[in-house]
Chain A
Amino acid sequence: MKKIILSIFASIILSVTSFSAFAKTEVIWWDLLGGGDGVRMSQMIDAFEKENPDIDIVNSTLEWGPPYYAKLQTSAAIGEQPDIAIYHISRYQMAKGTNIFSPISVDELASVGVTADQYYEPIWNKAKADDDGYLFGLPLDNPLYVMHINLDMFEEAGLLDENGHPTALNGDFDNFMAQMEKLKAITGDTPPISFVNSSQYAIYWWMLSIIYQIGGEIWNPDDGYCPGDQCEKSMQFLADLVDKGYMNRNADGATEQGNFVSGKSAIYIDGGWNTPTHVDLARKNELPFKYGAFKIPQLGPTMAAMLHSHTFIIPHSDVDPISDEKRAAVLRIMGWFSKNSLYWATAGHYLPHRPTVESPFFQNMWPNSGYADVGEVGFFEPNHPIFGIAGPSYDVMGNWFPGGVNGDISVEEAIQGAREEMNAMM
């Protein structure tokens, strides 16, 4: 009898231990990657789960922009927040007062093989929560605006250098206009540039880079928003492109990308996250031209390109903070994605992880190699709570910028309107 009881007891112990050995830690994941990059992300999550069978990622992709961030904040308020979430680095200063971040220590990151020296300094500093060794989140990538081009048209117009790069567009506004005239002779009725100038996002992402290229800035503590006249000059340049027929007026996204992929326009200035769409079309022989992607043109004395960054954060909740077990799993996820970010580069983004960027594979990756050195000239928005993607500054720009570029109001009115509204909010 004693033996029977002992054997039953032993079998229970065994089954419990074997159950716990196969128990998975469930990690709730939220992101806002609804484009071509979202498909890549799902593939990476699958790959992670394959290598880490003890972690089960339950991922959800939510609507991009203000709804995503509002939902993240409200979910944390009731303890229903995800365990890991993608968060734009540009919103850190805006959101730090909301208590949404559970800062990550460098020691925690080091435990999963992530260290500061693996990252480019500006982005690591941008992610810092304080100087005591805590980060708000871990940068995953650097989305940026690039110039997608129809190489056949550029070759026909004689605008490629010996490396096959469109450097002839660099210089100043006048030179750029002159080259557009050559391209317009080829594109005919369709403007040579596809650009979604009905969107403040598109306008701002290109315009801000131009402002920095011509020696301006978007804000400083003494002079406020759009100091100097570089904002006016750069918006006037975009308005001139519309007036001269180098760009459609009030152009929307579907039409502009449609014009580019069908071979009607020569240039498509938009996010690098469109690269996978174009690459996939090219691989299926559905692009009627030779495709390339490059940095946006340099239109002033210095090169500059605005960068953003998707980062991983651990959302904080006073009601139901993340457990130690889940936090450990989330850190492992961060470590894995950091080391394996090369595949993520195929989503068209630049990367902050230095070993990956410096690897020969990344440097020669087509077509990303056209902007593989952008890290040296990339910059972020200023550290002020008013800035940050999908935040109040974008709302103000949505109010004024498209009208200024498309001739509904004058450029001066548009910049002055935005300047007054932004300075009032600051």
Chain B
Amino acid sequence: MNRNIQSNLTAWVLIFPFVFFFTVFLIYPFAYTVVHSFTDSPLIGWGNWVGLENYQKILKDKLFGKSIYQTFIFVVWTVIPNTVLGLAIAMMIHRIQSTIYAAIILGCFFIPHILPVTVVTDLWTSMTSNDLGIIQWIVKMFQDDPIPFFRHKVWAMPSVALITVWWTVGFNVLLFLAGLKMINPEIYEASEIDGANRWHKFRFITWPLIWPITALVLTLQLIFQLKIFDQMFLLTGGGPYNKTMVVLYHVYKQSFMMNKGGYASAIALLIFLFIIFVSVANYYMLRAVDLDKQR
């Protein structure tokens, strides 16, 4: 009995730091946001209870609808390319025999991932600047005027997506590479004896065995990209013509610019629930595909 109490006490002591920080920095702000979403509070402080008014307002908010759509467009532009590219690069590195060369190439793809977002956006802003940008030098081979990539109605969203893929693909490469290294080489050798070519090996060995990693990468990417804010804030400001107005930028605008803390909380809460739903649904969908394959 005494031993049980001691063991329980030890467990509580060990999990206390986590429970404390989790409560203070997640549960409390979350509860605060929930309550705020039913008030007309400003950015700081409490407001009056307005019931479901904020949620009713969201339904009529055209910019909210547009921001949801833009967020999905961004997800489409980034999640699949990021996963496909990550896998392709990982397979390329995996084939390199020399450990040093493999490490150098992996480092090249991974370095952008460790850069802070401000450095990444500054870098690309310089590279696309009208006079000194190396990318404009290429543009000028085809036309007289430079392209204002982050202020252009066609180019803004793809440009931010491209930068995001460049910035984050290294992490996916690392995950895929770990997955590829776990595949027993003997399976490939056996398939070669049976006459399998490269495509067969990828289609029937690599792809099914690496599927759990792919599912993980897709789910993580989905969560990351649905939360897109930094790049839009730093590169486009949600413009031009709201074409890069993503949902978290809309939350920022409502809270920090319009001083509508309650309304912004309602949007943030909806997005939070939506991300949980999409992530769980995505994970189970991918798992179902995996189970199908095993049958």
Contact = CB atoms under 8 A, between A and B. Distances in A.
A406 interface: yes
Interface SS of chain A:
helix
Given A198-B148, A395-B253, A409-B241, A403 B153 contact: yes
Contacts of B112: none
A251 to B, nearest CB: 7
Interface stretch (B38-46, B192-200, B220-228): B38-46
B242 interface: yes
Contact of A98 (B44, B62, B152, B240): B44
B237 A395 contact: yes
B130 interface: yes
Interface stretch (B166-174, B177-185, B256-264): B256-264
A408 B240 CA distance: 10
A392 B237 CA distance: 11
Contacts of B240: 399-400, 402-403, 408
B257 A392 contact: yes
Nearest to B145: A249
A353 to B, nearest CB: 31
B45 A77 contact: yes
Contacts of B242: 399, 421
Contacts of A73: 43-44
Contacts of A417: 241
Given A398-B239, A403-B241, A406-B148, A77 B153 contact: no
Nearest to B129: A252
A395 B62 CA distance: 17
B258 A425 contact: yes
B151 interface: yes
B230 interface: no
Contacts of B129: 252, 254
A74 B257 contact: no
B44 A77 contact: yes
Nearest to B258: A392
Contact of A403 (B130, B151, B237): B151
B238 A98 contact: no
A155 B258 CA distance: 48
A77 B42 CA distance: 12
Contacts of B239: 398-400
A66 B256 contact: yes
A60 B3 CA distance: 58
B44 A391 contact: no
A262 interface: no
A59 B241 CA distance: 39
A399 B257 CA distance: 15
A97 interface: yes
B141 to A, nearest CB: 18
A235 B45 CA distance: 40
Interface residues of B, number: 26
B158 interface: no
Contacts of A425: 258
Contact of A97 (B145, B153, B259): B259
A29 B237 CA distance: 29
A255 interface: yes
Contacts of A16: none
A250 interface: yes
Nearest to A391: B257
A298 to B, nearest CB: 30
Interface in B241-271: 241-242, 253, 256-259
Interface in A221-269: 248-252, 254-255
Interface in B103-149: 129-131, 145-146, 148
Contact of B253 (A255, A392, A406): A392
Contacts of B153: 403, 408-409
A70 interface: yes
Contact of B241 (A94, A98, A250, A400): A400
B256 to A, nearest CB: 5
Nearest to B151: A402
Nearest to A399: B239
A94 B259 CA distance: 9
Contacts of B259: 94, 97-98
Interface string A363-403: 00000000000000000000000000001100100111011
A94 B132 CA distance: 39
Contacts of B238: 395, 399
Contact of B237 (A70, A255, A398, A409): A398
A424 B66 CA distance: 15
Contact of A399 (B44, B62, B131, B241): B241
Contacts of A248: 130
A227 B202 CA distance: 64
A-B pairs, 7 with minimum CB distance:
A399-B239, A250-B148, A77-B44, A392-B257, A255-B131, A403-B240, A70-B256
Given A98-B44, A398-B237, 15 more contacts: A198-B148, A248-B130, A250-B151, A252-B130, A255-B131, A392-B257, A395-B257, A399-B239, A399-B241, A400-B239, A402-B148, A403-B153, A406-B148, A408-B148, A421-B242
Interface of B: 42-45, 62-63, 129-131, 145-146, 148, 151-153, 237-242, 253, 256-259
18 contacts: A70-B43, A74-B44, A98-B43, A99-B45, A249-B145, A251-B130, A254-B129, A392-B258, A395-B253, A398-B237, A398-B239, A399-B240, A400-B239, A402-B151, A403-B151, A421-B242, A424-B62, A425-B258
